[in-house]
A and B are shown apart, each in its own frame.
Chain A
Amino acid sequence: DAGVIQSPRHEVTEMGQEVTLRCKPISGHDYLFWYRQTMMRGLELLIYFNNNVPIDDSGMPEDRFSAKMPNASFSTLKIQPSEPRDSAVYFCASSLGQPQETQYFGPGTRLLVL
């Protein structure tokens, strides 16, 4: 099994530019999660999907952030326009449908906004 795949692994962009992060969950997983990791705030949930439908987006910082899951094997997290405070590591995770199931994390995308 390939695990959760994220791309790109590293992204450097300038303030004001659009950034798109991509995630391919583990095949057969019903849930997909986007988390962000920063020194100041630690690991925090941004949004999660169940069967491609957004369930909880209360962690999305503001309207500059948007996430989609057009099918069971692909999700995007978009930041437009990007700001320096968006610099962080963004993780995607997926899990099976039962409540006790483990979330498996991708390697993350390290974003630096200059």
Chain B
Amino acid sequence: AQSVAQPEDQVNVAEGNPLTVKCTYSVSGNPYLFWYVQYPNRGLQFLLKYITGDNLVKGSYGFEAEFNKSQTSFHLKKPSALVSDSALYFCAVRDKGGRRALTFGSGTRLQVQP
């Protein structure tokens, strides 16, 4: 079975500071990893994904994530946070050889203070 852990329910950061949202995963094989963002009363918007190759993945709105196989982590990062980044962030995993559905973490609420 596959699983995702997002250990922080909420992350607070000041505008202009770097941010990190943590994610660790467990799959039986090799993973596809995804980050989505959800704004209030909206659907999930795709940010970025790791398929293979370069461990540093760049995505939308200046976000990036680093895949670390030995630590089974895929932390989301941004060098300089904006107030508009405040939202709910979900990490998701899928086993390359497994079923197509995503397994999501519990979500991390990012609050960027002006």
21 contacting pairs across A/B (C-beta < 8 A): A4-B43, A33-B100, A43-B44, A43-B90, A43-B104, A44-B104, A45-B102, A48-B100, A50-B100, A55-B99, A55-B100, A56-B99, A56-B100, A56-B101, A59-B101, A91-B44, A93-B44, A100-B32, A102-B34, A105-B43, A107-B42
In the complex, how many angstroms separate the beta carbon of B69 from the nearest chain A beta carbon?
17
**Chain A: interface secondary structure?**
strand
Task: Digitize B76-105: 1 where CB-to-A-CB distance is under 8 Å, 0 elsewhere.
Answer: 000000000000001000101001111111
B-chain residues with CB within 8 Å of residue A82 when the two chains form the complex: none
Compute how far the CA of A108 lies from the CA of B105 in the bound complex, rounded to whole angstroms: 18
Does A106 have its Cβ within 8 Å of any Cβ on chain B? yes
Q: Which of A59, A100, A107 interacts with B51 by CB under 8 Å?
A: A100
Contact-residue size bin, chain B (C-beta under 8 Å from the other chain): 20 to 34
Q: A residues bordering B, Cβ < 8 Å?
A: 4, 31, 33, 42-45, 48, 50, 55-56, 59, 91, 93, 95, 99-100, 102-108, 110
Residue of B36, B94, B101, B106 ringed by the most chain A CB atoms within 10 A: B101
